[in-house]
Amino acid sequence: MLLRAPFEDLLDSVLPARCPGCGRRGAIVCSSCASRLKAAPAAAPPDPVAWWTACFAYEGVARELVARAKYRNVRRFLVVIAGELAGALDAAPARFDVITWAPASTQRIRAHGVDHGELLARAVGRITRSPVARCLIRAPGPAQTGLDVRARRAGPLLRAMGPGAGATVLVVDDVAPTGGTLAAAARALQGAGTRTVFAATIARTPGPGARRAPAAYTPPTPAGTRAEKSRS
């Protein structure tokens, strides 16, 4: 069952939430609809991302959760999603130095007044007590939503602005239908000296021909050693 943040109880006493699955008031996601959420299907991380986790399959209630947070500016749903995403990071094969996000298009930020990717990354950072920084800048261009598959796989044009040579960076995003944005983020970061890029998304939709099992992860450390995992 999805957890509620304490301040959500106060908010909902004034303006009760409606479950995105059934419309019932009084719960961000009711227990019945939460029980029908499906785990994210297995898929290999898009090259050059080294490891990728996702919470849910992009369908049903999970799809509506993302839509309400991303397109309808219902930010309370980000609290639920951030908690789930933070929990998924327990499976990370090594520690990461900083969390960043895949920046939204200028048009989307202008329309909503905020980059929801940044809100999500900072919420995950608070929960995991991890540093969060803006490491990617997006060049002007259309949003990925609505583009054809080839354009989406190419990803947006991104430029890295940190975090420094040799770092391991976790990129947070909402949904990865093709993995194009994650791959573009990883290319930009590694081109600027980042050592390893991990990714975490709310939902995942494997593309055609995607592998049905996660790719093995090999830490970029000398043989016989493994990077220490921490959450400080």
**Residue 208: per-residue pLDDT:** 53
Question: What's the mean pLDDT in 83-88?
Answer: 94
Which of 132, 141, 146 has the alpha carbon at shortest distance from 104?
141
Q: Please, where are the H alpha helices in the chain? A: 6-14, 31-34, 60-70, 76-88, 106-112, 116-128, 149-154, 180-191
Peptide bond into 163 cis (omega under 30): yes
Question: What's the mean pLDDT in 81-88?
Answer: 93
Is the pLDDT reported for residue 76 higher than 80?
Answer: no
**Residue 176: per-residue pLDDT:** 87
Tokens, residue 108: 């989307």
Peptide bond into 177 cis (omega under 30): no
Q: Judge whether 217 and 189 are in contact, CB under 8 Å.
A: no
pTM for this predicted structure: 0.78
**Residue 206: per-residue pLDDT:** 53
Q: Give the DSSP letter string of 130-197.
A: --B---EEEPS---STT--HHHHHH---EEE--S-TT-EEEEEEEEESSSHHHHHHHHHHHHTT--EE
Q: Distance between CA 103 and CA 84 in Å, rounded?
A: 21
**Residue 141: per-residue pLDDT:** 64
Is the pLDDT reported for residue 218 higher than 50?
Answer: no
Question: What's the mean pLDDT in 145-158?
Answer: 65
- 10 vs 82, higher pLDDT: 82
DSSP state of 91: G
* Beta carbons within 10 angstroms of residue 25's beta carbon: 11
- 152 vs 232, higher pLDDT: 152
How far is residue 128 from each of residues 81, 112, 125, 132, measured CA to CA in Å? 14, 26, 5, 10
- Chain-centroid distance of CA 195 in Å reads 20
Q: Distance between CA 125 and CA 145 in Å, rounded?
A: 26
Q: Distance between CA 128 and CA 45 in Å, rounded?
A: 22
What φ, ψ does residue 106 adopt, rounded to 5°?
A: -60, -40
- 126 vs 112, higher pLDDT: 126
Tokens, residue 70: 């991303």
Q: Distance between CA 77 and CA 211 in Å, rounded?
A: 30
pLDDT band at 144 (very low <50, low <70, confident <90, very high): low
Could you report the per-residue pLDDT of 152-210, keeping only the tens digit for each?
A: 566 789 999 978 789 999 999 998 888 899 999 999 999 999 999 999 999 998 555 54
**Residue 154: per-residue pLDDT:** 61
